[in-house]
């Protein structure tokens, strides 16, 4: 599993942080459902890039790109809170 807090400058450590992550993930799912699925699969499901690619029926490079973009977007959203 990939610890999400390793990808952010501020680790998820309180219930407020988790709530903010939930809101940000919902927003991301509205804008980019596949990117949200990649984050949820990695963070909550512990899936690796290959497993996610198979699950989402996309290439591993697409998963890698979605993860990179989603991580940056979430970082921006969570930094504002």
Domain ranges of the chain: 14-80
Please report the pLDDT score of residue 13 as a whole number: 64
Of the given ranges (8-17, 48-57, 62-71), which has the lowest mean pLDDT?
Answer: 8-17
The per-residue pLDDT for 42 is: 94
DSSP string computed for the chain: ---GGGGSSS---SHHHHHHHHHHHHHHHHH-HHHHHHHHHHHTT---HHHHHHHHTS-HHHHHHHHHHHHHHHHHHHHH-
Q: Does domain 14-80 have CATH number 3.40.50.300?
A: no
pTM of the predicted protein model: 0.79
């Amino acid at each position: 599993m990939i610890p999400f807090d390793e990808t952010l400058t501020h680790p998820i450590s309180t219930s407020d942080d988790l709530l903010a992550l939930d809101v940000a993930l919902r927003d991301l799912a509205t804008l980019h459902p596949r990117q949200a699925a990649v984050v949820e699969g990695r963070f909550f499901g512990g899936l690796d890039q290959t497993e996610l690619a198979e699950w989402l029926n996309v290439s591993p490079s697409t998963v890698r790109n979605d993860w990179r973009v989603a991580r940056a977007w979430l970082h921006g959203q969570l930094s504002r809170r």
